[in-house]
Amino acid sequence: KAGVTQTPRYLIKTRGQQVTLSCSPISGHRSVSWYQQTPGQGLQFLFEYFSETQRNKGNFPGRFSGRQFSNSRSEMNVSTLELGDSALYLCASTDTYGYTFGSGTRLTVV
Amino acid sequence: KNEVEQSPQNLTAQEGEFITINCSYSVGISALHWLQQHPGGGIVSLFMLSSGKKKHGRLIATINIQEKHSSLHITASHPRDSAVYICAVFMNYGGSQGNLIFGKGTKLSVKP
């Protein structure tokens, strides 16, 4: 079966811009979670969606937001980008057996 | 103090050696995950456990809930095992879903 698909793989944006990242989970998985990975902070939980509802949120500013559609695909948005937002953004889809991660989107803010 | 501590941070081994990576946590959890991340960023979930021991091929993961400690063992290590291994715990929020909290990772390098 197809894995978790994240698009785009790489992205370069300028400070102040906004960005939208996409995640398509494994077919049948209704839970999608998002993570930020930086060299300094490691992996950090952003938020989790289940059946179009945000079920949990990590400790990130309101510039970070997300949503989930009826087909379980999810998007995350970062507004007013800062240099510190440069990171690998990973999403994972979940079933009772565990997590399957996408390959990530590497965002560079210049 | 981090809620999830891993040791060692870096580990270099010779091919064939038995490897142990440790994870300690300070919060109540409903499950613990071991993840493997190769250069390039892709993450693979190796194990999810809430008690006891699990084995998959040359990999063994154990957890002691009372001591809040888990170990990942690799038997007969191979250069292809070189990766970063990350421990993550799923916090228990009084029965409801919580967040995944990650350790900083253990960078393993296996030399031929």
CA of A15 vs chain B CAs: smallest distance (Å): 24
Does the structure show a pLDDT above 70 at A59? yes
pLDDT tens across B10-64, in order? 999 999 999 999 999 987 788 899 999 998 778 999 999 999 999 999 999 999 9
Are A4 and A26 in contact by the 8 Å Cβ rule? The answer is yes
CB pairs under 8 A between A and B: 47
Burial annotation A27-41 (CB, 10 A radius, 16+ → b, else e): eebebbbbbbbeeee
- pLDDT, residue A40, reads 87
CA of B43 vs chain A CAs: smallest distance (Å): 6
Cβ separation A33–B105 shorter than 8 A: no
In sequence order, what are the residues at sequence separation of 6 or more whose Cβ sits closer than 8 angstroms to the Cβ of residue B83?
Answer: B36, B37, B38, B39, B108
Q: What is the mean predicted confidence (pLDDT) over A29-38?
A: 93
Nearest to A28 by CA among A73, A60, A61, A63: A73
pLDDT tens across B71-91, in order? 999 999 999 999 999 999 987
Are B11 and B21 in contact by the 8 Å Cβ rule? The answer is yes
- pLDDT, residue B98, reads 60
User: In chain A, at which residue ranges do the beta strands (DSSP E only) sit?
Assistant: 5-7, 10-13, 19-24, 31-38, 42-50, 53-57, 64-68, 74-78, 87-95, 98-101, 105-109
Cβ separation A101–B43 shorter than 8 A: yes
What DSSP assignment string belongs to A63-90? TEEEEE-TTS-EEEEE-S--GGG-EEEE
Q: Which of A47-56, A70-79, A87-96 has the highest mean pLDDT?
A: A70-79
Q: Which residues of A touch B101 (CB under 8 A)?
A: 45
CA of A80 vs chain B CAs: smallest distance (Å): 25
Q: What is the mean predicted confidence (pLDDT) over A37-44?
A: 91
